[in-house]
Amino acid sequence: MCNLLGITDYNIFYDNLKNQLFERTGRNASRIKAIEDLGLLSEELVVKYGNPIDTISKLNSCCAQFQQIKKKTKNEIMLVRFD
Protein backbone atom coordinates (compact mmCIF):
# COMPACT_ATOMS: atom_id res chain seq x y z
CA MET A 1 0.00 0.00 0.00
CA CYS A 2 2.90 2.34 0.76
CA ASN A 3 4.21 1.85 -2.79
CA LEU A 4 0.83 2.75 -4.25
CA LEU A 5 0.67 5.93 -2.15
CA GLY A 6 4.28 6.90 -2.88
CA ILE A 7 5.32 6.59 0.77
CA THR A 8 8.97 5.64 1.20
CA ASP A 9 8.84 5.15 4.99
CA TYR A 10 7.60 1.58 5.42
CA ASN A 11 7.63 2.00 9.22
CA ILE A 12 4.71 4.43 9.03
CA PHE A 13 2.12 4.23 11.80
CA TYR A 14 -1.18 2.63 10.83
CA ASP A 15 -3.22 5.78 11.53
CA ASN A 16 -0.86 7.91 9.45
CA LEU A 17 -1.20 5.45 6.57
CA LYS A 18 -4.98 5.63 6.87
CA ASN A 19 -4.84 9.43 6.84
CA GLN A 20 -2.72 9.41 3.68
CA LEU A 21 -5.14 6.95 2.08
CA PHE A 22 -8.09 9.08 3.22
CA GLU A 23 -6.62 12.10 1.44
CA ARG A 24 -5.85 10.08 -1.70
CA THR A 25 -9.37 8.61 -1.93
CA GLY A 26 -11.06 12.01 -1.89
CA ARG A 27 -11.67 12.13 1.87
CA ASN A 28 -14.30 9.41 1.62
CA ALA A 29 -14.66 7.41 4.85
CA SER A 30 -16.73 4.65 3.22
CA ARG A 31 -13.87 3.93 0.78
CA ILE A 32 -11.42 3.61 3.66
CA LYS A 33 -13.83 1.26 5.45
CA ALA A 34 -14.15 -0.86 2.30
CA ILE A 35 -10.37 -1.04 1.90
CA GLU A 36 -10.03 -2.11 5.56
CA ASP A 37 -12.86 -4.64 5.26
CA LEU A 38 -11.18 -6.21 2.22
CA GLY A 39 -8.06 -6.69 4.33
CA LEU A 40 -5.91 -4.55 2.05
CA LEU A 41 -4.33 -2.71 4.99
CA SER A 42 -3.27 -5.81 6.88
CA GLU A 43 0.37 -6.69 7.38
CA GLU A 44 -0.23 -10.11 5.84
CA LEU A 45 1.52 -10.71 2.52
CA VAL A 46 -0.95 -11.05 -0.35
CA VAL A 47 -0.20 -13.72 -2.93
CA LYS A 48 -0.90 -12.47 -6.45
CA TYR A 49 -2.96 -14.68 -8.76
CA GLY A 50 -3.76 -14.27 -12.45
CA ASN A 51 -5.85 -11.10 -12.09
CA PRO A 52 -7.11 -8.75 -9.35
CA ILE A 53 -10.48 -10.54 -9.03
CA ASP A 54 -8.77 -13.90 -8.41
CA THR A 55 -6.39 -12.31 -5.90
CA ILE A 56 -9.14 -10.59 -3.89
CA SER A 57 -11.42 -13.64 -3.99
CA LYS A 58 -8.64 -15.86 -2.59
CA LEU A 59 -7.88 -13.25 0.07
CA ASN A 60 -11.55 -12.97 1.01
CA SER A 61 -12.03 -16.74 1.15
CA CYS A 62 -9.21 -17.01 3.69
CA CYS A 63 -10.60 -14.11 5.71
CA ALA A 64 -14.16 -15.49 5.57
CA GLN A 65 -12.97 -18.87 6.88
CA PHE A 66 -11.17 -17.12 9.74
CA GLN A 67 -14.21 -14.98 10.56
CA GLN A 68 -16.48 -18.05 10.64
CA ILE A 69 -14.14 -19.74 13.06
CA LYS A 70 -13.87 -16.55 15.14
CA LYS A 71 -17.60 -15.78 15.22
CA LYS A 72 -19.73 -18.84 14.64
CA THR A 73 -22.95 -16.83 14.90
CA LYS A 74 -22.24 -14.62 11.86
CA ASN A 75 -22.21 -15.93 8.29
CA GLU A 76 -20.82 -13.96 5.39
CA ILE A 77 -21.17 -14.57 1.70
CA MET A 78 -19.55 -12.97 -1.32
CA LEU A 79 -21.22 -13.24 -4.69
CA VAL A 80 -19.32 -12.64 -7.92
CA ARG A 81 -21.19 -12.56 -11.21
CA PHE A 82 -19.45 -13.02 -14.54
CA ASP A 83 -21.38 -12.27 -17.74
- pLDDT tens per residue, range 6-35: 888 888 898 999 999 999 999 999 999 888
Domain count for the chain: 2
Residues 37 and 63 placed together within one structural domain of the fold: no
Mean pLDDT calculated for residue range 63-69 = 53
34 and 3 within one domain: yes
Whole-angstrom Cα distance, residue 18 to residue 40? 11
Based on the domain organization, do 53 and 34 belong to the same domain? no
**CA atoms of 9 and 7, how far apart (whole Å):** 6
Q: Which pLDDT value is given to residue 27?
A: 92
Q: How confident is the model at residue 52 (pLDDT cuts 50, 70, 90)?
A: confident
The reply to whether 56 and 72 lie within a common domain is yes
Single out the residue of 44, 23, 25, 46 nearest to residue 35, CA to CA. Answer: 25
Q: In terms of residue numbers, what domain contains 58?
A: 47-83
Q: How many CB atoms lie within 10 A of CB 82?
A: 4
pTM: 0.55
Contacts for 24-27 with beta carbons within 8 Å, 24 or more apart? none
